Structure 1
């Protein structure tokens, strides 16, 4: 892969990389030592649609904090910040909190390679929390609101032939606003964590032709042995055509083409189905042809799988993967890091977490009120981990609930939620690992539940919908009925509708490990234990209660949680990822025994 970096352009780069170092006094993972301040996160950021040429803009930038009412460019810079780590994080090298009455500015200089001449230059931000104004050479290029979705601008007309200046102004009200924010608060405590402000995923440049492939969507149908492909292009011309080629381990097994703008249907002979035990992925090449000449090409992949709710032989609704009941056993995964907060220190840090999930005998992660970088889902696709994807919560005003437990939102709050929900679905549509969308958790910002559930189901018919995970259930809404019970376990009441029953949260067994906690004292779990032996015994006692619940109709159980997070110490492993508190031959054996039960059902 051809990647341009600024290593050869040190005269333009911010000097003194050696001056950068993590800040703060909290624990950190070993992966923090692998962070390269010259180019953190060097991996290609969009594995689902890969082009050869790109430029990574991660690294040391200038930053400044200003009054939010002052819309002038900063007269001076406060120092350096390591992008893509949020300013509050240790790995940013800053470690400052940002108030709702402050704006955060970034600045970076860059040059465009001569080989990109006559190309359109796209500037990509994979995530900025929350409101971003983007300037190139002090001209406003565009704005974006939303802390979890990628966005881009065509900056071609703003560029100079030599050095260019990129500036970004960010405003993030955190819990003073109604925007989706997950568990971020200005003053962390308990289950609410440190705020994340500004750029927290990769920033990069990409050269493309004027007419180019913008996005892809795959619609696999394992019963009909087909996959429909929907493509979106920019600046379409009458004779433009799109060609899609599918490969099985390097061998072409299908191809089709159509006029640009039309869907393409691929016949997949004897489809090799994707599952946690066999996470097979087809390689895909998508080409744009204009007047007999190929002008654009992206490399992608897809998985052939189907998720549904079907009744078993006893008439019980079950979640079926490829028409087979597989009990889903997983962790609640909040995706926080002691050193990077929202941002994993490295790509290998992501892999480490996911490898532990598989090694423990689990097949599921519920990604809890956070959306991850695209490479996280890529590794779930590759390793075979099922994902329930939460929509990050927001607008948590408890004083505005109706008689059904729903929040009464303003029109703008509702619109922002719906736009960010749609963006989340669009961006992660092609990941076979994602099998369920979860719009609401425990009533946090929950509103218009039935309408939201119905819209999600119509917009993405390839996945299930868990409309209300915990607390305020609406009979018949979504595909599953979801209860939370601590320490549990339990099973939702059978409401005799079409829905499968799941245990969306349980467990929460706590154990602080000295030297591995966010703070020395005042840590907590839902239930506390004196040592790992007692913790593991209690865990096995919980697991041993699940077989009877599976026979009654339970289809999934989500244990809280994968890691300790700040003062919560109920993780499978410590926050610094150094101690696997629950890992033992006995606990792994107990986990695997549950799949035997599901096979018999």
Structure 2
């Protein structure tokens, strides 16, 4: 592949990599960022013995497969990736605790501090932290991370990664791909905040979770409210500002519990399905019908793969789509760093969040081609066919359920998230109705797209359709809202801005005028369907990714195809 760079990737300073506070929903005053140059080694052995020498330097948090890491080498199943760096003991008082945070490590890792095992984690998309206080010493300390990644050769969550990339699947990556950081907390500290806005009652419920029983003080815009840890604190709002994409108002608040203090925010909004005067189910924001014009986002970068090269790069994608008239992003088969959701919260971008798909190798003739035919003939196929839907492994099914719970827990407080997508196009699908009910119990405040595309089991809040090849149409149901959860996929290469010579898409254009005309026309079709009951539409996609050149933006984010201005006029 031709190596492309974004403008932010070209400007990456190894001494100052993604330095912003990684978790804006629970912000403390100080933290130690551990991004930057680490030692690395890739061994062919699965031995637990730490290497005596290393291959060179890797720029964390970019995966070794990415150009920005400085390595650009694929870690394969059967190999072990080792990281090592030193750090100074954080200044702390006698009983303070030192927490080590990892945004995400793909897929399985063991963490060592001063050659002692401090903990482990499995799952390539979710954050975790370790209390490393007892492993530390004064002065210089050593941190070592051992990583293994079997990618798409097993049942683990993998999203759109594939060792043999091509078409709609992209370069697999491994290792540390989100920020690594430390913070000092008191012996008794705030472990988690859980914030639930009640739009109809004009109040918010804040629960401060801790392993210790402590008095709690919540300062909400200058007004104090008292309570205890692990007990919900209900706060009425004298003046309620509704959150919308046009007016993304955030309430700022501070929590003090014992010696600990954190800052956070919330928003007042609700997402519901309600019937209009004709009895058609409509997707509503704050109880008003609100058509959600959405864009599918794979979250890939040519220079950083899963990792955006900077905070500004993430902001660019969101604001560029708002400028295009989109109010919603469907985050496809990936969980982003917390800062991405923070920017959606504050900029006013609704998010539909996919659960990250896993399962054994997919039977594409069944979950793609046959499924399309089933949909045309209105044949409902049961999800009990675990072999054809790549979910034979009991361990894999159990792991997926666990990660559903963790995903909702990690992202629960972000007000921009409106919809959880359980399964996409039958990839690793199983027990849809049961899992949809489990998700609703975990989070009754959001809507659920139980089966995006096909293999609909009649559950969830949506009749969810993918349509890339046929005339668009709508057949509203009595209770579930009708959504077009993927469509479009118009492909056009822009010379000098493609990473491969391959061209994957659903309708190919060589002429820019025809591309723009087709793009305008299909959205006019969608506008007509809104009258008949369509509630949301998700266009494929935000940017080109490798072979798949159906983005509104080129892979390097330098050209917006819907406008194709001269370079000096392009958006910055």
| TM-score, with structure 2 as normaliser | 0.93
Alpha-carbon distance between aligned partners in 2 of 1:192 and 1:245, rounded to the nearest angstrom: 47
Q: 2:146 aligns with which of 151, 169, 180?
A: 169
Whether 1:379 aligns to 2:343 is yes
Match of 1:502 in 2: 483
User: Cα gap change, 1:480/1:31 in structure 2, threshold over 3 Å: closer, same or farther?
Assistant: same
What's the CA shift for 1:530? 1.5
Aligned equivalent of 1:540, options 483, 503, 520: 520
Q: Which runs of 5+ in 1 are unaligned?
A: 1-23, 290-294, 586-601
The count of aligned residue pairs is 546
Aligned partners of 1:393 and 1:440 also within 8 Å: yes
Q: What is the CA distance between 1:398 and its match in structure 2? A: 4.2
Contact 2:31/2:181 (8 A) holds in 1: yes
Q: 1:244 aligns with which of 175, 199, 218?
A: 218
> What is the Cα deviation at residue 117 of structure 1?
5.1
Does structure 1 residue 522 correspond to structure 2 residue 505?
Answer: no
Instruction: Give the match for residue 183 of structure 1.
Output: 160
**Which residue of structure 2 lines up, in the alignment, with residue 447 of structure 1?**
430
Say whether 1:48 aligns with 2:25: yes
- Given the alignment of the two structures, is residue 266 of structure 1 paired with residue 248 of structure 2, yes or no? no
Q: Verify the 8 A CA contact 2:382 2:455 in the aligned structure 1.
A: no
What residue in structure 2 maps to residue 482 of structure 1?
A: 464
Cα distance in 2 for partners of 1:397, 1:108 equals 36
Q: Is the 8 A contact 1:491 1:501 kept in 2?
A: no
Are 1:419 and 2:388 an aligned pair? Answer: no
Q: CA deviation at 1:420?
A: 1.4
Task: Say whether 1:557 aligns with 2:537.
Answer: yes
How far does residue 260 in structure 1 lie from its aligned partner after superposition? 1.8
Structure 2: distance between partners of 1:489 and 1:361:
23
Secondary structure of the residue aligned to 2:191 is strand
Secondary structure in structure 2 of the residue aligned to 1:242: strand
- Which of 89, 94, 99 matches 1:112? 89
Change (3 A) 1:86 1:31: same
Q: Distance in 1 between matches of 2:444 and 2:208?
A: 17
Q: Is there any run of 5+ residues in structure 2 with no aligned partner, and where? A: 368-380, 566-572
Give the 3 Å change call, closer, same or farther, for CA 224–403 of structure 1 in structure 2.
closer
Give the TM-score of the pair, scaled to structure 1.
0.88
Q: CA deviation at 1:568?
A: 0.6
Kept after mapping to 2: 8 A contact 1:311/1:317: yes
Q: CA-to-partner distance for each residue in 1:33-78, whole Å, 9 max, x for gaps?
A: 2211012111110000000111000000000112342110012101
SS of structure 2 residue aligned to 1:134: strand
The alpha-carbon distance between structure 1 residues 584 and 577, as it changes in their structure 2 partners (threshold 3 A), is closer
1:297 to 1:489, Cα distance in 2 relative to 1, 3 A: farther
Report the CA distance between 1:334 and its aligned residue: 0.4
**Which runs of structure 2 are paired with 1:153-232 in the superposition (5 Å)?**
153-232=130-209
Counterparts of 1:492 and 1:132, CA distance in 2: 47
Deviation at 1:451, TM superposition (A): 0.7
* In 2: Cα distance, 1:371 partner to 1:500 partner: 25
Cα shift at 1:411: 2.0
Q: Do the aligned residues in 1 keep the contact of 2:272 with 2:447 (CA within 8 Å)?
A: yes
Could you list the per-position Cα deviations for residues 222-265 of structure 1 after superposition, in whole angstroms to 9, with x for gaps in the alignment?
1111111122113x14xx21122212xxxx2x442222221111
Q: Secondary structure at the match of 1:482?
A: strand
Q: Deviations over 1:446-467 (max 9, x none)?
A: 1110011111111101110000
Q: How far does the alpha carbon of each residue in 1:259-292 deviate from its partner, in whole angstroms, 9 at most, with x for none?
A: 2221111111131010101000000101103xxx
